[in-house]
Structure 1
Amino acid sequence: MAKISELYDVTWEEMRDKMRKWREENSRNSEQIVEVGEELINEYASKLGDDIWIIYEQVMIAALDYGRDELALFCLQELRRQFPGSHRVKRLTGMRFEAMERYDDAIQLYDRILQEDPTNTAARKRKIAIRKAQGKNVEAIRELNEYLEQFVGDQEAWHELAELYINEHDYAKAAFCLEELMMTNPHNHLYCQQYAEVKYTQGGLENLELSRKYFAQALKLNNRNMRALFGLYMSASHIASNAKASAKMKKDNMKYASWAASQINRAYQSSIIWVTKETHNRLLRYDVKNRKGKECEDRKGSRRKGIGRTTAKVSGMFHVLGSY
Structure 2
Amino acid sequence: MADNYEEMSCSEAKELLRKWRDDNERRSDEVVQIFDYCLADKVKKLGSERLIVLEQVFVAALDCGRIKLAEDCVRVLISEFPESLRIMKLKAMLLEALERYDDALDVLESIINKDETNAAARKRKIAILKAKGQISDAIRELCDYLRKFMSDQEAWHELCNLYMMEGDYSKAAFCMEEVLLHNPFSHLIHQRMGDIRYTMGGQDNIEIAKSYYAQAVKLNANNLRALYGLYLCCGHIVNSKAPVNKRKEAQKLSTWALKKISEITNDKLPRSTKSSKNSNQSNDIAALEAAFGNLDAKLN
Question: Considering the TM-score relative to the shorter chain, is it more than 0.5?
Answer: yes
Matching residue of 2:62:
64
Q: Where does residue 143 of structure 2 map in the other structure?
A: 145
What amino acid maps onto 1:202 in structure 2?
Answer: M
Q: Is the 8 A contact 2:198 2:209 kept in 1?
A: yes
Q: State the 1:55 CA deviation.
A: 5.5
Bigger mean CA deviation after superposition, 119-128 or 12-21: 12-21
- Measure the CA separation in 1 of the matches of 2:49 and 2:208: 49
CA distance, structure 2, for counterparts of residue 193 and residue 55 of structure 1: 42
2:33 to 21, 39, 46: 39
Alignment CA distance shift 1:66-1:44 (3 Å)? closer
Cα–Cα, structure 1 residues 225 and 74, in superposed 2: closer, same or farther, change >3 Å? farther
CA distance 1:79–1:240, shift in 2 (3 Å): farther
Amino acid at match of 2:59: I
Q: Is the 8 A contact 1:19 1:37 kept in 2?
A: no
CA distance 1:148–1:14, change in 2 (3 Å): same
Task: Map Cα deviations across residues 93-138 of structure 1 (whole Å, 9 max, x no partner).
Answer: 1112112111110111011112221221211221111211111111
How many angstroms does 1:78 deviate by? 4.8
Contact 1:37-1:55 within 8 A present in 2 as well: no
Kindly tell me: are residues 266 and 22 of structure 1, through their superposed partners in 2, closer, same or farther at Cα, counting changes over 3 Å? farther
Change (3 A) 1:56 1:210: farther
Matched residue count:
260
Residue aligned with 1:5, SS? coil
Deviates further, 102-111 or 114-123: 114-123
The structure whose Rg is larger is 1
State whether residues 64 and 72 of structure 1, in contact with CA within 8 Å, keep that contact through their aligned partners in structure 2: yes
Output the aligned Cα RMSD: 3.1
Q: Are residue 234 (structure 1) and residue 228 (structure 2) matched?
A: no
Contact 1:15 1:36 in 2 (8 A): no
Which amino acid is 1:258 matched to?
T
Q: Pick one of 224, 242, 245 that aligns with 1:245.
A: 242
Asked if the contact 2:93/2:104 (under 8 Å) is kept, the reply is yes
For the Cα contact (< 8 Å) 1:61–1:72, is it kept in 2? yes
- In structure 1, give the amino acid aligned to 2:267: S
Of 163, 184, 189, the residue aligned with 2:187 is 189
Cα distance in 2 for partners of 1:89, 1:224 equals 47
Match of 2:154 in 1: 156
Q: Can you list the C-alpha shifts for 1:47-89, whole angstroms capped at 9, x where unaligned?
A: 9876675564455335434433234334434544554432122
In structure 2, runs of 5+ residues without a counterpart are 271-300
What CA distance in whole angstroms lies between the structure 2 residues aligned with 1:55 and 1:262? 56
TM-score (norm 2): 0.74
3-state DSSP of counterpart to 2:242: coil
CA shift, 1:199, in A, is: 0.3
**Structure 1 length normalisation: TM-score?**
0.69
Please state how far the C-alpha of 1:15 moved relative to its aligned partner.
Answer: 7.2
Residue 105 of structure 1: aligned partner: 103
**2:241 counterpart SS class:** coil
Do 2:161 and 2:172's aligned partners in 1 also have CA atoms closer than 8 Å? yes
- Paired with 2:113 and 2:50, the residues of 1 have a C-alpha distance of 30
Residue matched to 1:211:
209
How far apart are the structure 2 equivalents of 1:136 and 1:190? 28
Q: Does 1:135 align with 2:129?
A: no
CA shift for structure 1 position 260 = 2.0
